[in-house]
Amino acid sequence: MKIGVIGTGLTKFGEIWDKSLRDLLAEAQLKSLEEAGISPKDIEMIFTGNMCAGALSGQLHIGAMAAENLRLNVPSTRVEGACASGALAIRAGIAAIESGAAKIVQVNGVEKMTDVSTEQVTTALMGAGDEEVEGFQGATFPALYALMARAYMQEFGLTREELAAVPVKSHKHGSMNPIAQYQKELSIDDVINASMVSDPLTLMDCSPITDGASSIILATESIAKKLNNDAVWVVGSGQASDTLALSNRDSLSEIKATRFAAEHAFKQAGITARDVHLAEVHDCFSIAELLAIEGLGLAKKGEAGKHAAAGHHYFDSKMPINTCGGLKSCGHPIGATGVKQAVEIVHQLQNRAGKRQVKKAEVGVAQNVGGTGATVVVNVFKR
């Protein structure tokens, strides 16, 4: 498999009061088309990741909206897989090209979340968990990931300071990213002393509520080579599942589906974890980043926290993680996140990441998670 990324588009991430769901989606779509140097008429299919528009904006049928924005009548589909919706949309685009159904595909992600109350957002997001076993009992995602953090701490001796090193690094990267929701650095004390959300997770361990959109253009190898001399290639893609409810898992100290998805994606790409130069992972909560790193094979089980505390995950260190600022600092507009991760990897591999540029990056991996790991997608990109 070798599919080219020939264009990317991002909006600002944050509390964007003056733009609607449609505005955000259209902005990202037009930017990716402009970068690709193609006309809307060249797009043969569209896939758009979105989770919460029905609950938070009263707007379903996002596929039709994406096509209308470009004045097209091509097949256009909304893709939903909780917080993994964006990466699932990428997989849908890959499948469309591999099947021969299309030669050029636009993949988008969008979410508008800040126009309603926190309670409404929390209720909508719990749709990514098990309503009967978790949501109905009063569990929220901070609580579920806090359980995972406590289990990991008990099993591997992770300290609070090691856990806090994750958002400190993310905010350092976000401070250098012009689209990030939060462009302010943090200290370990800032994280530990922030308001408690669900012990041991404080507010600074949790990704924010965010508006934003992202877009990429995928094309066949022949078209990509013709249109873009600097194309980045999607060379592997894997998806795996686990139980919806956290209580039904074999272990609370890993996200098993990451390992399965990564094994498939890496085999398809012809690489091992040793070949990876940087990764964008789903750090909805600080513990999730550590679990992702280990699930991808970028650290042995129980060691990711020590690596984080030692500074190994900064853009200029041994294994750069979340150079855009991650979900924590860049923001987490649910449906847009998986596509934004791909955009960041593409920009890094094209040497376009500015102050946070990773040197000599040739292979990047993106890991996007739905719920507490019930759905995981891993995509591999290469120069």
Residues catalogued as catalytic: 83, 332
Q: How far apart are CA 304 and CA 161, in angstroms?
A: 13
155, 302 in Cβ contact below 8 A? yes
Q: Pairing mode, if any, of strands 104-111 and 45-49?
A: parallel
**DSSP annotation string for 291-307:** HHHHHTTSS-TT-HHHH
- In 105-122, which positions are buried (b, 16+ CB within 10 angstroms) versus exposed (e)? bbbbbbbbbbebeeeebe
Q: Which helix (H) or strand (E) holds 33?
A: helix 21-36
Q: Which residues contact 104 (CB under 8 A, 6 or more apart)?
A: 38, 42, 43, 44, 217, 218, 219, 220, 223
Q: Are 308 and 165 in contact (CB under 8 A)?
A: yes
* CA neighbor of 86 nearest in space, from 353, 262, 268, 344: 344
Separation between Cα atoms, residue 117 and residue 6, nearest integer Å: 38
Q: Which two tokens stand for residue 326?
A: 């991650």
Which stretch of DSSP H or E encloses residue 346? helix 334-349
Tell me 206's DSSP state.
B
